[in-house]
Amino acid sequence: MLGPMTHVLLGALVIIVALSPTAQSDEFDGAREAQYEIYRVVNVRGLDMLNVRAGPQETARKIGELSFNARDIFGLGRCTPEWCLVSYGDEVIGWVSRRYIATDNGYDGATYSVVGLSKYDILTIRDKPSSVAEKIGAIPPFEITVEALGGCVRDWCPVGYRSMEGWVHRKHLAVWLPAEAGGEQRIGGF
């Protein structure tokens, strides 16, 4: 006959086995060990968010989200052909679609494309991150060569376009990676 302490120990053993990665084969089915990498979000419009899910499938419960220009997303070394397990900041740990992340090599080569404008509109460049700041230039719709100059401040992102440097509203930006950098070349939005 088993005593109360034996039941506690057996219960703890069952919990440990249930939480081990090999016991969670449903969640990790098809996942393979991958290099730990730092990622950034790509192919997401300026006001949209990338969903973080509890498992590596589109139907898994949404547990968080990352902004369109999130950087320093830490890959936890487990990926399937379509999903990667990541952490971001102190709180978000979950699975994101590989279609929307790319290895983050700093801001070098990061380019925005202009989205969400009609062919008759322009994207105003301002000298400060504010809608009342001075207008210093404009970017035509569907432009794909807007240089990312750093991290965004609230809804405003620093950009370089031709010989101008200033701030534009993020709702009209999408991160664009050239095909040779592993991205998809898309014109006119994502």
What are the tens digits of pLDDT across the range 51-74? 999 999 999 999 999 988 888 888
Domain 30-103 matching CATH 3.90.1300.10: the answer reads no
pLDDT score at 105:
63
pLDDT score at 47:
78
- The SS3 of residue 10 is helix
For 14, left (φ over 0), alpha (ψ -120 to 50), or beta? alpha
What are the tens digits of pLDDT across the range 114-125? 988 999 999 999
The proportion of the chain whose per-residue pLDDT surpasses 90, expressed as a percent, equals 36
Do 66 and 49 contact (CB within 8 A), yes or no? yes
Domains of the chain, by residue range, sit at: 30-103, 111-181
Is the model's pTM score more than 0.85? no
Alpha carbons 176 and 189: distance in angstroms, whole number: 9
Alpha carbons 161 and 135: distance in angstroms, whole number: 14
Do 42 and 80 contact (CB within 8 A), yes or no? no
Q: Same CATH fold, 111-181 and 30-103?
A: yes
Specify the CATH number of the domain 111-181: 2.30.30.40
pLDDT (average), residues 2-15: 39
For 96, left (φ over 0), alpha (ψ -120 to 50), or beta? beta
Asked if residue 16 has pLDDT above 50, the reply is no
Alpha carbons 135 and 127: distance in angstroms, whole number: 7
pLDDT (average), residues 159-180: 82
Q: What is the mean pLDDT of the chain?
A: 76
What are the tens digits of pLDDT across the range 66-110? 988 888 888 888 889 999 999 988 778 999 999 999 887 665 557
- Whose tokens are 């440990």? That residue is 16
Q: How far apart are the first and last CA of the chain?
A: 65
